[in-house]
Structure 1
Amino acid sequence: MMTAHTPNEASPNTGALSSVVMWVDRGVVIAGTAVAITALVIMFISLMAEVVVRYFTNQGMGWPTEMPNILFPWLVMGGIVLAAQRGQHIAVTAIQGMVGRGGNRVLLIGHQVLIAATFFYLAWVGLDVLEITGTEVYPVTGITAKWAYLAMIAGFVGLGITALTTLVRLLLASDPLTVRAHHIEEDV
C-alpha cells in the first residue's frame, strides 16, 4: 500500500537523494577550489622565480612565461564553477517577480535543464578541440596547448554537474528561489 506524503514530509528516498547531491556538490567545490588555488600558486611561484633569476643573472628561464598560458584557464574555470556552486553569477530576476512559486519552479527547472544540456554538449564538442590543439606545443616546456583547453572541458563538466544538482535541489525545495541563494551572513 502506498502512502501519500505531504509537501513538507520527506520520503526516505528524498533524504538519500539530498545526501548524494550534497556529496556531489561538496566534491565539485573541493575540486574547483583545489584547481584554482593550485593554478594560482604555481603561476605565482614560477613568475616569482623568473623575476628572481632575471634580477640576478639578467637572463630569463623561459618556462615560467608559459605557465600563465597553461594555468590561467584552469584558474578562471575553477572560479566560474565555484561561483555557480554558490549561486553568485549575475541573474535577471524580472520574470521571477511576476510568477508565483510554482511558476518559478518550472522556470528554474527549465533553466537548469538548458544549462546542463548546453554545458555537457560544449564539453563533448570540446573533445574535438583537444585533438586540434594537441599539435600546438609550447616551445620551452614542450607541453601541448591541449592542457590549457582541457580546463574549459573540465569547467563545462563542472557547470553541467552543478546544473544537475541544482535541478534536484529545485525539485526538493519548498521555495525554489532559495536554491543556491547565497547570503553574506553565511560567510561571517
Structure 2
Amino acid sequence: MSPGQPGAPPREKGGRQRPLLLRGAQGLVTILEWSGKLIAVATLGVMFGALLVNVVLRYAFGTGIPWAYEIHAVLLPWLVAGGIVIAAARSRNIAISLLPDLTPARYQRFLLLAVEIAIVTIAASVLWSSQPILRASSFQTLSTLGIKQVWGYSSLVYAFGGMVVIGAMNILQLLGGIDRPGPDPARTSLS
C-alpha cells in the first residue's frame, strides 16, 4: 500500500511514518468522537420520539405517557456529554485564540501543551469533586420511571473522563511532534 492511498498509515511531514503510539492516540480520540456522535443521535432520537408520541396521544386520547416528562432528566445530560466529547475530540471547544495568534510560531507548541495540561487538570478535578453528587444521586429515584437519577448524572463521568483521555492523547501527540491544526476560519465561519 503506497502512502496517500485510503487506509495507508499516516505520515508526518518529510514522509516518515508516525510511531504506533501516536497513531493509537489519534485512533482513541476518533473512537471517543464516534461514541459521542452515537450518544447524541440516540438521545435525540429517543427524546424526540417520546415527545412526539406523547403529543399524538394527548391530542388523540386526551392523555399522554407519564414518563415522557421524566426521560429528559436522564437523556438530556447524556446529549450534552456527547456534544462535549465531540467538541473536545475535534478541538472545537470554546476558545479565545488571541494569545496563540500573537505567540511566535516556535512557542505555540508550548502554549498548546500548557492549555492541554490545564484542560486535563480541570476535567480530572471535576471528576474527583463530582463523586459525592454521584453517590447522592444513587439514592434519588425518578417517580414515574422508577430509575435512579445516577443514570443521568453518570454522564459527568463520560464527558469529563472523555476530556481527560482526549487531553492526554493531545499532550502525547504534541510531545511526539505532531502539530494539532487549528480550525480553518474559512470552513468554520458561521457568517
TM superposition score category, shorter chain reference: 0.7 to 0.9
- Label 1:45 to 1:103 Cα distance change in 2 as closer, same or farther (>3 A): same
What is residue 6 of structure 2 aligned with on the other side? none
Cα deviation, residue 42, structure 1: 0.6
1:114 corresponds, among 88, 94, 118, to 118
| Equivalent pair of 2:30/2:89 in contact (CA under 8 Å) | no
Q: Which runs of 5+ in 2 are unaligned?
A: 1-11
What is residue 97 of structure 2 aligned with on the other side? 93
Cα deviation, residue 86, structure 1: 1.3
Instruction: Name the structure with the higher helix share.
Output: 1
> TM-score, structure 1 length as denominator?
0.84
What is residue 181 of structure 1 aligned with on the other side? 182
SS of residue in 2 equivalent to 1:135: coil
Cα deviation, residue 93, structure 1: 2.2
> TM-score, structure 2 length as denominator?
0.82
Cα deviation, residue 20, structure 1: 0.6
1:47 corresponds, among 51, 60, 69, to 51
| Equivalent pair of 1:53/1:59 in contact (CA under 8 Å) | yes
Q: Which runs of 5+ in 1 are unaligned?
A: 1-6
Q: Deviations over 1:104-162 (max 9, x none)?
A: 11111011111112212211322321111112211110011111111112100111111
| Equivalent pair of 1:85/1:162 in contact (CA under 8 Å) | yes
Whole-Å separation in 2 of the counterparts to 1:143 and 1:44: 20
Whole-Å separation in 2 of the counterparts to 1:58 and 1:8: 65
Moved over 4 A (4+): 7-12
Whole-Å separation in 2 of the counterparts to 1:159 and 1:180: 18
Identity percentage over the alignment? 24
Q: Deviations over 1:23-54 (max 9, x none)?
A: 10111011101111111001011111111111
| Equivalent pair of 1:127/1:153 in contact (CA under 8 Å) | no
